[in-house]
Structure 1
Amino acid sequence: MKTSDLRIALFSGNYNYTRDGANQALNRLVGSLLAKGAAVRIYAPTVENPDFEPTGDLVGVPNVRMPVKGRGEYRLPLRLGRAVKRDLAKFKPNIVHLSSPDPSGHAALSWAQDHDIPVLASVHTRFETYPRYYKLAFLEPVVTGILRRFYNRCDALVAPSQSMIDELIATDMHDDISLWTRGVDRTIFAREKRDPELRRSLGLEEDDVAIVFLGRLVMEKGLDVFAETIVQLRKRQVPHKVLVIGDGPARGWFEEALPGGIFAGFKTGADLGKALASGDIFLNPSITETFGNVTLEAMACGLPVVAAGATGASSLVTDGETGRLVPLKGKGSNAAPDSEGLAEAIAPYCTDPALRMAHGQAGEDRSREYSWEAINQVVADTYVRLIEDRRALQEAEAAAEAAA
């Protein structure tokens, strides 16, 4: 079986209406599959004015606005609905790909099993950690149980980092997990994109050291830890400035927590690469990432990375070579980033240009290992393997039935 024989039904909770790292990876995957002759149909919530045009054919699924304070820009897919089921029957997929364990994902999984179609799930974020950011930490074991049942009903998983694969195996989510890492667009993210004029327009002088936050401004990205780390640096009188690239519902909170911070707003494409390369140190306090696209992009721009030692960052950052990994405080659901440890790790970069340059260069060199073409072929190969395994099983069952 070849990639061009694939007919993939891809289900996503957010394919293009709000830009994030997960849907950027999915759109790149679909583009790669289509270029190789595969047929792809995407099923996801649609809105009137999405953040960007989708790659491939997008079919809307029933959905409502996310019923969680601070997440109103996201949609919750509810079910498949008759129209979607008719479309699926007409499309006749030979593989189903689920990228979110939401209600429509559960429904699509049941539909695939009813039609004897193999299912691959991709893991994009640490959903089980989300409740703690909305004062619902007591729900974390419940969410973990739901995820375990969902993923174990699938034929296989793909995850973007070895550290995330190790976590999934340790928590009994599945035992067939392949590495689908992420690539970086070096035409956008590169050291030479640094722009002195942009720095001056943002209020950054040549000798200023800018600590960068990049991402959607939502609390589960570790905004509170980032802000507390900056407080710790200020207490130690470590010279620095703060550059925030991104926007989101928690922007007002973040601005209040970071007086004097430079908020550059939402950026995409070349403007994003220029803004990121114009910083000096990248701080990623998030523990919800499964990979950390922003971390890889910062490395490609030649920034040393200081990150919480959690899934994602721990597979990218080499402690003491490309940046620093700071161990979490506590264990299990009580594990949390250490703002004092992060501040201690950042401080030397703020005062030692040679160290900053050396670790930034090492990170840039490491980022060159990530090629989108090879990375996306892993998923296509996994599709083919699952389909061939299912066909072999069906043939064996038919032969056994005939023999009986």
Structure 2
Amino acid sequence: MDATALRIALFSGNYNYVRDGANQALNRLVGYLLRQGAQVRVYAPTVRQPAFPATGDLMSAPSWPIPGRGEYRIPLGLSPALRRDLKAFAPNIVHVSSPDPLGHRALSWARKRGLPTVASVHTRFETYPRYYGLAFMEPLIEAMLRRFYRRCDAIVAPSDSMAQLLRDQRMNYDVGIWTRGIDQDIFHPDRRDPAWRRSLGIADETPVIGFVGRLVMEKGLDVFSDSIMLLQQRGVRHHVMVVGDGPARSWFENRLPDASFLGFQSGPDLGRSVASMDMLFNPSVTETFGNVTLEAMACTLPTVAARATGSESLVTDGVTGRLIRPGAISQFADALETYCTDADSRQRAGAAAHRIAARYGWDQVNQALVDTYVRIIRQRERGALALASPVP
């Protein structure tokens, strides 16, 4: 069995209406599958003006805006129209990418028909409540996630560290890796543009600390801004460059009034911005991989990151960057100060990071998931079944 025999029903809570690393990875996956001769059908919420065109055939799932975060939508489940489409498509494997109502209904639909199921894990949903004063809910959400993922034949994580966390949390007995790739043409040190930096008012000798990502509190914006303010108090010369947009942008701009806020960027513009930084600061603990970290590494940037899933699999502490205890403001500032004041240390770490980033190619990582699909289908054919219910 190879990719040409696959008929994949892919369910996503956000396939293309808001751009993020997870749905861009899913679109790249679908593009790869189609090039290999597989049949793919995507089921996800849609909007009139999505962030980018969908790759492949996209069927619209009914949804509602999330209260307080209207840019995101909650898919409500499988409508009669989607059920008819699924029956006509006749998938031989189901891939769910979000533990939302649509994902739950998709799992139930597949299990009722004896179809194998794979879930991809893209973020640490259980950590989100802590950023909104609801940390007491984390054990409940973790239990709900366990119930969801234990209904699947297998789950895949984007990094070794995230896979180990999922095993420790007893999410599933079959945990594989579907990592992320890098576009080496876009993210490359040759994209650095000193003239463009000067146009932003940044002197050549001023170290630039970069942030790349959606501007939401769960990305650690408070830790980032507190660490930068401590650098300022110490008199460390630097400039902050922020690439991205989101609902917390005004809050972030008020905290960092001297920073350059460039908004959302993509393609060559994003590559130029990242390569024109001198280091990446990623204090988030919610990532399961950290696409922006890999992109920065490909541009020969050292990364200062929280010691958390995702970053631990990419950043080698003291070699390609620094891993700091989450929330340790003073230690984050110490690491940033070192890279701001010691150009040799910064360049050594950046060069080491570039060597590691060269290992990641999209076709290789997507083929690994194809291999997982084929393995799970064969296991089902031999009579192996997913667990019927979560184990405490």
TM (norm. structure 2) is 0.97
**Which residue matches 1:227?**
225
**Which residue matches 1:345?**
335
Equivalent position SS for 2:383: helix
Q: Distance in 2 between matches of 1:194 and 1:47?
A: 36
Structure 1 runs (4+) deviating above 3 angstroms are: none
Equivalent position SS for 1:73: strand
Q: Distance in 2 between matches of 1:87 and 1:285?
A: 42
Equivalent position SS for 1:361: helix
Q: Distance in 1 between matches of 2:185 and 2:329?
A: 34
**Which residue matches 1:331?**
none
1:317 aligns with 2:315: yes
**Which residue matches 1:399?**
none
**Which residue matches 2:388?**
none
Letter in 2 for 1:347: E
Deviation at 1:327, TM superposition (A): 2.2
Please give the residue correspondences for 1:183-222 in structure 2 after superposition, counting only pairs within 5 Å: 183-222=181-220
**Which residue matches 2:172?**
174
> Can you list the C-alpha shifts for 1:139-191, whole angstroms capped at 9, x where unaligned?
11111010000000100000000100110000111120111111100110000
Q: Distance in 1 between matches of 2:271 and 2:300?
A: 11
The sequence identity of aligned pairs, in percent, is 58
Contact 1:202 1:264 in 2 (8 A): no
Q: Could you tell me which runs of 5 or more consecutive residues in structure 2 were left unpaired when the two chains were aligned.
A: 386-392
Contact 1:229 1:340 in 2 (8 A): yes
Q: Distance in 1 between matches of 2:78 and 2:330?
A: 47
Q: Distance in 1 between matches of 2:332 and 2:218?
A: 17
**Which residue matches 2:368?**
378
Deviation at 1:394, TM superposition (A): 8.1
1:249 to 227, 247, 260: 247
Q: Distance in 1 between matches of 2:196 and 2:58?
A: 37
Q: Distance in 1 between matches of 2:124 and 2:134?
A: 15
Q: Distance in 2 between matches of 1:92 and 1:191?
A: 46
Letter in 2 for 1:37: G
Deviation at 1:5, TM superposition (A): 0.2
Q: Distance in 1 between matches of 2:173 and 2:160?
A: 13
1:303 to 301, 318, 322: 301
Deviation at 1:352, TM superposition (A): 1.1
1:35 aligns with 2:38: no
Q: Could you tell me which runs of 5 or more consecutive residues in structure 1 were left unpaired when the two chains were aligned.
A: 329-336, 396-404
Letter in 2 for 1:170: D
**Which residue matches 1:23?**
23
Q: Distance in 2 between matches of 1:231 and 1:197?
A: 27
Equivalent position SS for 2:173: coil
Please give the residue correspondences for 1:248-397 in structure 2 after superposition, counting only pairs within 5 Å: 248-328=246-326, 337-393=327-383
Contact 1:120 1:157 in 2 (8 A): yes
Please give the residue correspondences for 1:44-83 in structure 2 after superposition, counting only pairs within 5 Å: 44-67=44-67, 69=68, 71-83=69-81
Contact 1:184 1:371 in 2 (8 A): yes
> Can you list the C-alpha shifts for 1:200-223, whole angstroms capped at 9, x where unaligned?
121211111110000000000010
**Which residue matches 1:125?**
123
Q: Distance in 1 between matches of 2:98 and 2:218?
A: 17
Letter in 2 for 1:291: F
Contact 1:8 1:95 in 2 (8 A): yes
Contact 1:240 1:350 in 2 (8 A): yes
Letter in 1 for 2:275: A
Equivalent position SS for 1:380: helix
Further displaced range: 130-139 or 10-19: 130-139
Q: Distance in 2 between matches of 1:132 and 1:327?
A: 16
**Which residue matches 2:155?**
157
Q: Distance in 1 between matches of 2:190 and 2:323?
A: 26
Q: Distance in 2 between matches of 1:320 and 1:107?
A: 45
**Which residue matches 2:94?**
96
**Which residue matches 2:390?**
none
> Can you list the C-alpha shifts for 1:284-328, whole angstroms capped at 9, x where unaligned?
000000000000000001111000000000000011111111123
Equivalent position SS for 2:268: helix
User: Residues 82, 309 of structure 1: CA spacing in aligned structure 2 closer, same or farther, 3 A cutoff?
Assistant: same
Q: Distance in 2 between matches of 1:5 and 1:394?
A: 20
Equivalent position SS for 2:204: coil
Deviation at 1:198, TM superposition (A): 1.4
Deviation at 1:391, TM superposition (A): 1.3
RMSD: 1.1
Aligned residues: 385
**Which residue matches 1:334?**
none
Deviation at 1:26, TM superposition (A): 0.5
Letter in 2 for 1:379: L
